[in-house]
Amino acid sequence: MNIILIGMMGSGKSTAGRILAEKLKWKFYDLDSIIESEQKMTVTEIFNQKGEAAFRELEKQALAKLTGQTNCVIATGGGAPTQDENWKSFGEKSAVVWLKSSPQVLFQRLEHSGNKTRPLIKDVFSLEKIFKILNEREMFYQRAQFAVETDGLNPEETVEKIMRLLPLNP
């Protein structure tokens, strides 16, 4: 099986995913990084030069290429679950885990690292903006089989919580 981490920007998918894969001795894939290395452009450059729709298409293709892999942890970008086709690529044998954080915590985390490099929040970054995006996304994130509340947890604790919930043995 695979573990797919979904959730908002700043919810810690990449950091937790890397630690989780290490503990399980599984492969780790970060969808945004795959797209960036394939395109030789950053996500921001892709948004600026090609637009969001083109990025969503690249995201879809990158994810579809991972279908058929087993024993891997995949950290998706925050918008991936909004695309119906991506749920097909997640696959029936995958555990989809939503890393669920409050808008306040997301705002704080992104303020310290990340708001400048994320195209959807780099121009207008406010708590209201995070609320708005989360509000639009929640219905998609709720499709996950598992939800892990991450407020107040560090990445290690988040990973332990995921492992207890699934449950997984390293």
Q: Which residues bind ligand S3P (CB under 6 A)?
A: 9, 13, 32, 43, 77-79, 118-120
Residue 16 or 43 having the CB closest to ligand S3P: 43
- As a whole number of angstroms, the distance between CA 168 and CA 117 comes to 33
Q: How far is the CB of 167 from ligand S3P (least distance, A)?
A: 26
Q: How far is the CB of 71 from ligand S3P (least distance, A)?
A: 22
Residue 70 or 126 having the CB closest to ligand S3P: 126
Q: How far is the CB of 82 from ligand S3P (least distance, A)?
A: 8
Residue 78 or 103 having the CB closest to ligand S3P: 78
Give Cα 110 distance to the centre of its chain: 14
Q: How far is the CB of 9 from ligand S3P (least distance, A)?
A: 3
Residue 86 or 94 having the CB closest to ligand S3P: 86
Name the residue whose CB lies closest to ligand S3P. Answer: 77
Residues with Cβ within 8 Å of residue 75, at least 6 apart in sequence: 5, 13, 14, 16, 17, 18, 28, 29, 30, 31, 32
Residues with Cβ within 8 Å of residue 13, at least 6 apart in sequence: 5, 6, 7, 75, 76, 99
Q: Are strands 94-100 and 2-6 parallel, antiparallel or unpaired?
A: parallel
